[in-house]
Amino acid sequence: MNNTENKSPTGRLELICGPMFAGKTTELIRRLDAARSAQEITLAMKPAKDTRYAHQELVTHAGGRTRASAVATASDILAAIGDARVIGIDEAHFFGAQLSAVCLKLVALGRRVIVVGLEFDHRGDMFEPFPTLLAHSNDTTRITGVCSACGGASIYSQRMVVSAERIHVGGVGDYEPRCAACFIPSAR
């Protein structure tokens, strides 16, 4: 076992990135279920701003679900972890740059942190926590979606509605996964 890269022998940062509707939350729930089966104490967190589905659950677009705590800010995550060893954080892009320091702190405390989110906004720019999180990640899984225009592998999320907000909480119809050739960044 090689743990020399971690401050703690057990701390670990895992990233699950990809566009909307690629199955990111499904993969998070699978990893949390597996950790619980191995007798680990797990905790799932989500931003309180994400109001699309149930407040105290992670819910996938396909209907999968697991219990989750909704928190307003990244620092609220630190206050909520208790003795959880494995911490899943969904919709990481909602938390902004502050999430990076929180995740690094959790890893230093010996926790396994699994972060899920969109790395690119509707303009194709990276959401703030991701450049730092990608640099510090022990394991990064990039899940591609199926481009809604050509069927190719997609990493971008095309916004289909007009909104001035960088984050527009949307579901089916508001975003489509798109490949680099078919992605049209929103106007600046």
Residue 57 is a catalytic residue: no
Options 78, 101, 109, 149; binder of Zn ion; rule CB under 5 A: 149
Q: Where are the beta strands (DSSP E) in 23-135?
A: 42-47, 57-59, 65-67, 69-71, 86-89, 112-117
22 binds Zn ion (CB under 5 A): no
Options 23, 64, 110, 152; binder of Zn ion; rule CB under 5 A: 152
DSSP 42: E
Using the contact rule CB under 5 A, the part of the chain among 4-12, 65-73, 86-94, 175-183 near Zn ion is 175-183
153 binds Zn ion (CB under 5 A): no
Using the contact rule CB under 5 A, the part of the chain among 62-70, 100-108, 127-135, 140-148 near Zn ion is 140-148
178 and 148 Cβ atoms separated by less than 8 Å: yes
Smallest distance from Zn ion to CB 151, Å: 7
SS percent in the chain: helix, strand, coil, step 5? 25, 25, 50
How many chain residues bind Zn ion (CB under 5 A)? 6
147 binds Zn ion (CB under 5 A): yes
Closer residue to Zn ion, CB minimum distance, 17 or 179: 179
For residues 151 and 167, what is the distance between their CA atoms, to the nearest angstrom? 25
For residues 74 and 92, what is the distance between their CA atoms, to the nearest angstrom? 9
Residues known to be catalytic? 91
